[in-house]
């Protein structure tokens, strides 16, 4: 959910379908939610050539039956190790 307007090169670029390779910007207005399959679609950022910085909140939502406690713990440990470097 962007806290600023997300457009052009200040936003995330993602492909339309898995392995399609057709990256395009995800345009979103302030506080507009955009639901997409970020776990399976290639995505990234371009160098921001606009004069605006994007600020956003990301939410990852999974069904409780898919939650894996040990995988979540490993990810937390890896983030802590990375941040300590």
Residue-wise pLDDT tens digits, 26-44? 999 998 988 888 889 999 9
In a domain, 29, yes or no: yes
Contact yes or no for 10/54 (Cβ under 8 A): yes
In a domain, 3, yes or no: no
In a domain, 43, yes or no: yes
Share of the chain above pLDDT 70, in %: 89
Contact yes or no for 12/34 (Cβ under 8 A): no
In a domain, 28, yes or no: yes
Range of the domain at 61: 8-84
Nearest to 30 by CA among 47, 54, 60, 14: 54
Count of domains forming the chain: 1
In a domain, 68, yes or no: yes
Report the pLDDT averaged over residues 44-61: 90
Nearest to 25 by CA among 58, 3, 49: 49
pTM score, two decimals?
A: 0.69
In a domain, 63, yes or no: yes
In a domain, 40, yes or no: yes
Contact yes or no for 38/65 (Cβ under 8 A): no
In a domain, 2, yes or no: no
């Amino acid at each position: 959910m962007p806290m600023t307007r997300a457009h052009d090169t200040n936003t995330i670029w993602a492909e339309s379908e898995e392995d399609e390779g057709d990256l395009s910007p995800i345009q979103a207005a302030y506080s507009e939610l955009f639901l997409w399959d970020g776990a399976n679609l290639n995505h990234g950022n371009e160098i921001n050539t606009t004069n605006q910085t994007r600020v956003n909140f990301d939410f990852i939502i999974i069904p409780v039956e898919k939650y894996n406690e040990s995988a979540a713990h490993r990810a937390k440990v890896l983030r802590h190790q990375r941040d300590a470097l």
